[in-house]
């Protein structure tokens, strides 16, 4: 099965049909998706600003990251559940949209960076040089901003 066949299959699911034919369902799931995005990116932003040397200076970044981790994971889970659900409602349109693929690429990069470089940098804590901490914060923020801008651009260019 190739990727297009998978997208066709998604497009013809009961959920896909329901999302296209129900005025309330798509906006409801989309709103939940955006709340997950706010939770995910909001908590990451707080920690990344700390890595940049701004924000909460009274607590170590590693402590703030640990305290926010459950919220970050909740936001990620909501996004990973609702994103594919939304995709079923417009799978063929998304398959043909190059901005969708750019968004997916940035999301994959941002999540990979979160679970590798960023997590290791935060775990190093006080032994991390200020330059490296700032670099990690900048790259993390840049990846998430690019993912969000690409996602917003999908809707802007489709209308």
Q: Residue 111: what pLDDT?
A: 96
Rounded to the nearest 10 degrees, what angle do helices 61-89 and 14-21 cross at? 90
Q: Average model confidence (pLDDT) for the chain?
A: 92
Which one has a higher pLDDT value, 83 or 155?
83
Question: Residue 130 — pLDDT band, cuts 50, 70, 90?
Answer: confident
Query: Please, which residues have CB within 8 angstroms of residue 26's CB and are 6 or more apart in sequence?
Result: 19, 20, 86, 89
Query: What pTM did the predictor assign?
Result: 0.90
Nearest-5° angle of CA 150, CA 155, CA 159?
140
Please work out, in degrees rounded to the nearest 5, the angle formed at the alpha carbon of residue 47 by the alpha carbons of 145 and 56: 125
Give the pLDDT mean for 109-118. Answer: 95
Mean local confidence (pLDDT), 86-114: 95
In the DSSP assignment, the letter for residue 126 is: G
pLDDT over 60 at 159, yes or no: no
The pLDDT value recorded for residue 127 is: 78
Percentage of residues in the chain having pLDDT higher than 70: 98
Q: What b-and-e string marks burial along 7-29, b requiring 16 or more CB atoms within 10 Å of the CB? A: beebbeeebbeebeeeeeebeeb
Average pLDDT over residues 56-62: 83
Decide if pLDDT at 158 tops 70.
no
């Amino acid at each position: 099965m190739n990727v297009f066949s998978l997208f066709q299959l998604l497009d013809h699911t009961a959920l896909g049909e329901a999302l296209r034919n129900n005025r309330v369902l798509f906006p409801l799931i989309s709103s939940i998706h955006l709340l997950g995005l706010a939770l995910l990116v909001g908590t990451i932003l707080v920690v990344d600003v700390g890595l940049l040397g701004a924000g909460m200076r009274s607590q170590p970044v590693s402590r703030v990251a640990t305290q926010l981790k459950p919220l970050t994971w909740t936001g990620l889970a909501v996004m990973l559940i609702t994103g594919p659900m939304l995709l079923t409602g417009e799978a063929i349109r998304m398959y043909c949209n190059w901005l969708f693929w750019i968004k997916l690429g940035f999301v994959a990069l941002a999540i990979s960076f979160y679970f590798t470089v960023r997590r290791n940098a935060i775990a190093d804590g006080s032994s991390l040089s200020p330059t490296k901490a700032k670099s990690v914060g900048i790259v993390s923020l840049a990846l998430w901003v690019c993912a969000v801008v690409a996602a917003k651009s999908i809707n802007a260019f489709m209308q």
